[in-house]
Amino acid sequence: MSGLLLVISGPSGAGKTTIAREVEKAFEDAVFSVSVTTRARTVKDREGVDYRFVSEDEFDRMVGEGELLEWAGVFERRYGTPRGPVEDALARGKLVILEIDVRGAGQVKEKMAGMYGVFVLPPSEEELLRRLRDRQREDEQTIQKRFREATREIEEAKAGGVYDAFVVNDDLERAVAETVGLVRLRRG
Ligand code: 5GP
């Protein structure tokens, strides 16, 4: 199978991280791109696996030296994709998975026309709001902010022409199977 750059995006609460990790498990040669971020590490985060946590200065340095394939500010923090590991893995014919936001995906599309973009949608706006509340991670004000951000991101994704497929996460197993099927088809 040939190399493929797979970009998975979606609003928080849509289940994109779970889907991205399940797709990673489904392909023997999958490589998950570990982003750098300036956001604070939480107890759930595994350093070097989920993210590489860097200082604002280190992030500035990486931007300045052109080490990032793309980067964007999300919720007042910066996130970026280190270029080297992505290019190396693609050169070796691997499936490279990027879980990044809509603006980052737009930047990747401009640089790497062959990218395959999948946008994960919640079944409905009501369900998205319910899932954001269920996480009990944030206060209502923050939940409302995330919800507005999510609806804006969905509109942007639908209008942008960056994504090749929209997968509705109504049922996790089904959504994973659909995404895996799409990737298989694309790789040929
Ligand atoms: P979280 O902090 O909840 O893990 O992620 C917040 C948002 O940042 C998500 O929408 C996620 O897709 C996005 N994100 C994570 N890594 C990157 C990256 O390297 N680049 C860009 N552009 N967005 C990222």
Q: How far apart are CA 118 and CA 36, in angstroms?
A: 21
The continuous run of DSSP H or E covering 175 comes out as helix 172-187
Judging by beta carbons within 10 Å of its beta carbon (0-12, 13-18, 19+), is residue 141 exposed, middle or buried?
exposed
Which of ligand 1's atoms lies nearest the C-alpha of 72? 22
Domain boundaries, the chain: 4-187
Enter the tokens of residue 81. 């994709």
Distance from residue 49's CA to the centre of ligand 1 (Å)? 14
Residue nearest to atom 12 of ligand 1 (CA): 100
Which residues does a 6 A CB cutoff place in the pocket of ligand 1?
Answer: 12, 35, 39, 70-72, 74, 79-81, 99-101, 104
Does the pLDDT value for residue 8 go beyond 90?
yes
Q: Is residue 90 predicted with pLDDT exceeding 70? A: yes
Residue pLDDT, tens place only, 97-148: 999 999 999 999 999 989 999 999 999 999 999 988 887 778 899 899 989 9
Q: What token pair was written down for 183?
A: 């990737």
Band (14; pLDDT cuts 50, 70, 90): confident
Alpha carbon of 108 to ligand 1 centroid (Å) = 14
Quick check: helix, strand or coil at residue 23? helix
The closest of 102, 81, 109 to 149, measured between CA atoms, is 102
- Of all protein residues, the one whose alpha carbon is nearest to atom 1 of ligand 1 is 12
* Superfamily of domain 4-187, CATH level 4: P-loop containing nucleotide triphosphate hydrolases (3.40.50.300)
From 49, 62, 97, 101, mutation site for ligand 1 pocket: most ligand atoms within 8 A of C-beta: 101
- The CA 126 to ligand 1 mean position distance, Å, reads 23
What is the model's pLDDT at position 1? 65
61, 149 contact by CB (below 8 A) = no
Least trusted range by pLDDT, from 10-14, 36-40, 78-82, 184-188: 10-14
Please report the atom of ligand 1 found closest to the CA of residue 36. 19
**pTM score, whole prediction:** 0.94
For position 105, what pLDDT does the model report? 97
- Ligand 1 atom nearest to 45, measured from its CA: 4
